[in-house]
Structure 1
């Protein structure tokens, strides 16, 4: 019989969906967490899931209700729980909603907008974020300039920048005016500032970047700064392996 996997105590708490790993480490160091009746102050103390009795503030952990939601992230918010520079975070949009602890599934940078997922189901979140099995992400991007002939093919072919290969799975022009254009760019992986870096290589500055869908889940008419829970079917569909 295979022995249960062992994890550090802080990681074990976060995997149960009760808090972030950083917050769990704070609880442990503060002496709020016990394992099998003994207070442990080492966040890396090894535990084996349900084989150990873990209590916080003297109470056994009750698995939280699995929660899945989507947010229409406004521009100007950072995707983190706390920001060292004191900037507003995406959690401002969830204040007062009486939700359990939730973590963003992936990220959108401060200047980006649109569809952002949250969940306390760490296994589900990992499947969504996995570049090999997770769903494609679609973005609408306003650029400061007009795309040259052949640019869409060049975006799909990709570039090497900073030692990383950056490319789009698909790209097309949605519309254009006299001085700028809107592009639709589909990614099958998510590298740091990937679209901005990719377009910068072709001298196209990004004016707006909006994530409009993740797999079959579309942002739709959800107002900016608002959120809604995902349906059971939406949760299942997002976790299905891609083609």
Structure 2
């Protein structure tokens, strides 16, 4: 969806932010593009009166600013664009995907102690019992586009189930299953290997819903023994050790950007 810009207005002497011209975006989007926070968080900061453009507090989240000239401050401190950081973590089982857990449980940030980046956030989530590839960035627009269902960026998982897989299970997961009134469907499912009493399958999703694979298996009365995310949009976890973090290469970031672009996800 393209940006809807308001009619041209005359800039006021006091630094009004209502005139769209040049590199102009809404104030919440400006904070997002600078890597400071998400637009939802920015709207909350603005409503609390904590954001200023120049020396003027701006309480209107629909206000426009020119990123090439505006001096934006939060709590009196000027916000500058942060260097973009893109990381991958091989998340171990047992960690929760949050910065601060009220129950005091270990979090994924315990693996990021070498990266002192204030606004580094996970792209999506893996629940406590799940493991594998988890991306982090301070590039909020990149993260939002990667998560947007319209971009159809695939995510692949290796899943161990508590029974021998058969064609009926594979067909049911790709045809669609209802769980709590919601239709859940995998893009593809294939058998990887099996033992005497359990099997490993590979599941690909393009629209990840909360606990989607576990809920699909619950609908089939199948137990999930392990769930490991192994790839996002062609970016593979590879042999990264469990609990380890590495930066994405320039080519890996470019490849993900191409996939986002092919999906043509745009934001206001």
TM-score under structure 1 length normalisation: 0.86
Report which of the two structures shows the higher radius of gyration computed on alpha carbons: 2
Where does the alignment leave 5 or more consecutive residues of structure 2 unmatched? Answer: 6-19, 264-268
Q: 1:6 aligns with which of 18, 26, 29?
A: 26
The verdict on how the C-alpha distance between 1:45 and 1:21 changes in structure 2, with shifts beyond 3 A counting, is closer
Instruction: Give the C-alpha shift of residue 29 in structure 1.
Output: 8.5
For the 8 Å contact 2:26–2:61, the answer to whether it is kept is no
Q: 1:174 aligns with which of 176, 182, 192?
A: 192
Aligned length: 239
CA–CA distance in 2 between the matches of 1:177 and 1:163?
A: 33
Q: 1:48 aligns with which of 58, 64, 87?
A: 64
In structure 2, what is the equivalent of residue 183 of structure 1? 201
Instruction: Give the C-alpha shift of residue 25 in structure 1.
Output: 7.7
What secondary structure sits across from 1:207 in the alignment?
strand
CA–CA distance in 2 between the matches of 1:146 and 1:59?
A: 59
Deviations 1:182-205 (A, max 9, x none): 111111110000000001111111
The verdict on how the C-alpha distance between 1:45 and 1:150 changes in structure 2, with shifts beyond 3 A counting, is closer
In structure 2, what is the equivalent of residue 80 of structure 1? 98
What secondary structure sits across from 2:80 in the alignment?
coil
Deviations 1:198-223 (A, max 9, x none): 01111111011000011211101101
CA–CA distance in 1 between the matches of 2:247 and 2:65?
A: 28
For the 8 Å contact 1:12–1:47, the answer to whether it is kept is no
CA–CA distance in 2 between the matches of 1:89 and 1:28?
A: 29
TM-align CA RMSD: 2.7
For the 8 Å contact 2:47–2:61, the answer to whether it is kept is no
Matched, 1:143 2:156: no
TM-score under structure 2 length normalisation: 0.78
Matched, 1:223 2:241: yes
For the 8 Å contact 2:98–2:107, the answer to whether it is kept is yes
Where does the alignment leave 5 or more consecutive residues of structure 1 unmatched? Answer: none
What secondary structure sits across from 2:111 in the alignment?
helix
Instruction: Give the C-alpha shift of residue 76 in structure 1.
Output: 1.0
